[in-house]
A and B are shown apart, each in its own frame.
Chain A
Amino acid sequence: MILSKYPNLVLKEIFDHMEYSDLFILSFASKNIRKMIRWSQKERFITIRSIEYFFDNNWEPPLVHVHSKRGSESIMDLRNPRRDRNDIFQLNVSGKIIDFQLCTNKKRAMASYQESENESVIVSIQNYLLDFFGSSMQYHWRFGYLQHYFIPRLKNVSFCIDICLEEDLKEMEKLETFFSSSPVFKWIGLKTMSTIKPFTPESKLYQAESIRISQFWDNFSLSAILRHFKGRQATVMCDRWENSEELIEFVNRWKSGEAFQKLEHLKFKFNRNEILDKGFLNEIGVKCIDATKQPPTHTLPKVYNWYYQQTEPTTDPIISHTYVVRATDNRVASILIQEDMSRSGEWIETIYFGVWDKTEEEFLKLID
């Protein structure tokens, strides 16, 4: 069977039926094949939302995932710890020769290398992926543990971390130290179980583009985030609500243009019967849309899709009659306070703050 005898459209049809992991291996067969894959799969590669290096825990090899509109697929394992010399083949990955094996049950490539080669191998792989898949999609480096982490210097890669802090201040100190030596994160997911002290105001936690914090039994993060967050999207889930003063201060600082210039979307969810005194709305000078009119829906693409979903990941829609206006540029932010009854009969209250890329005049034109 001489593949090159097939017309290009037949080759395209064959490649269309191959998974990303197979195309990745095939791309090493020759330069011409690699070119042909890129040409024929251009439309398919456009559907890729992100390519992610995923380091979930210490005992499984890290994976490289392709997340696309069709689904999520692992294309290779990094640093296979159970190497068997018999099946090793070597590939030239962007100028570096790397040992690979095929994972027999999952049928995907596993790179085999010493830990000391971590950086150089990953850099070569990233350069190869950029060349093969292109740079139109996002590349993420995500990890979920602080032991043996390393953050390589890679082209076009954003960093994400998903951490669960134990009931131990040492863990938090470790995380703070880690943040201080890290680049700015695209996304930080943080779960905490008990009281921990607030992060320092300069912490990278507040500089991340997007954060998602789940905190049980305490609310250290809420007031600190309302003061220090410099990113675009934040979601905080906690059990207790201290008072509304910090919320008033936050809105006033946003309205004055003094802080939160990049902010797009905030969501604070309180789980246990915490009902906010709505009086604070008067104190922040909200404006109201005519109650008989339908307000426009505020929703945005998520900065980072922290759990994989096939539909386009977007922030929770905000449909609210109340809004505030920023003095410096006349931009509008919708404010919504939503109360729901949980299955266990407890009240769950959620506060949304969604900033529009529209002036008040433009915003009011959106109303039916």
Chain B
Amino acid sequence: MSSTEQGTSSAAPAEPTTAPESAAAPEVPESFYYVHGKDKVVHKVSAGALQHSALIHGMISNLGYTEEQAKANPFPFENIDGDILQMVVDWCNQHKGKPTPPEDTNLPKQKEKLFDLVLAVNYLEIKELLTYCCKQVAMMVKGKSPEEIREIWMIPTDAEDEAAEKEAKKRAGKEAAGETAAAAGDAK
């Protein structure tokens, strides 16, 4: 398992130097957690950055891991591609402890990447980033004809939907018939 700390190092300069809590309260050492995606590349991320993700925040809030324990138990997100998880980690680091701006122009322009990012962000429950992504997805079809929209978003035509529905019904029928036959076999 390889390890990268790009997230933390790139995020360090962006951290607010005069955060209200650091000015008022005695400094508490920041805790870090580790996550990896499909590519097993581990990313070290601060608890502050991870607060953007309701899913991870919920997971870590009661763990009380030591640094060693956290390192030894990275959170696996096998359903998220490594480069997509990297984007998510970078975004969380960049926006750690900051109010999120109304627009985010740094989202991927390629539609496949954006599509995967939306799924990942939805899974990780990062509300603000999901809003930005959905806005960008919505903008992709602005001023397009229904045919162009069908192409961009790969929307099946009514005929394709009907064929798929028929196929699904046929499959369900077959499965039901198979289950009945198996049940009859068990009874014998």
The interface of chain A, by Cβ under 8 A from chain B, is: 1-7, 9-10, 13-18, 22, 25-26, 28-33, 89, 91, 100, 102, 104, 107
Contacts and interface: CB of A to CB of B under 8 A. Distances in A.
B114 interface: yes
A17 B135 contact: yes
A22 B148 CA distance: 13
Interface stretch (B52-60, B68-76, B156-164): B156-164
Contact of A25 (B119, B134, B135, B144): B144
A100 B147 CA distance: 12
Interface of B: 111-112, 114-115, 118-119, 122, 130-131, 134-135, 137-139, 141-147, 149-150, 152-158, 161
A14 B138 contact: yes
Given A14-B134, A32-B161, A4 B143 contact: no
Nearest to A103: B143
Contact of A31 (B111, B122, B158): B158
A15 B138 contact: yes
Question: Secondary structure at chain B's binding surface: helix, strand, loop or mixed?
Answer: helix
A1 B134 contact: no
Contacts, number: 83
A32 B138 CA distance: 18
Given A22-B142, A32-B161, A104-B143, A10 B130 contact: yes
B99 to A, nearest CB: 20
Nearest to B159: A30
B150 A29 contact: yes
A329 B186 CA distance: 79
Given A10-B122, A31-B158, A107-B142, A3 B130 contact: no
Contacts of A22: 138, 141-142
Given A14-B137, A17-B134, A17-B138, A3 B154 contact: yes
30 contacts: A1-B115, A1-B137, A2-B153, A4-B156, A6-B119, A6-B122, A9-B122, A13-B130, A13-B131, A14-B134, A14-B138, A15-B138, A16-B134, A17-B131, A17-B138, A17-B139, A18-B138, A22-B138, A22-B142, A25-B145, A26-B141, A28-B146, A29-B146, A30-B150, A30-B155, A30-B156, A31-B158, A31-B161, A32-B161, A91-B146
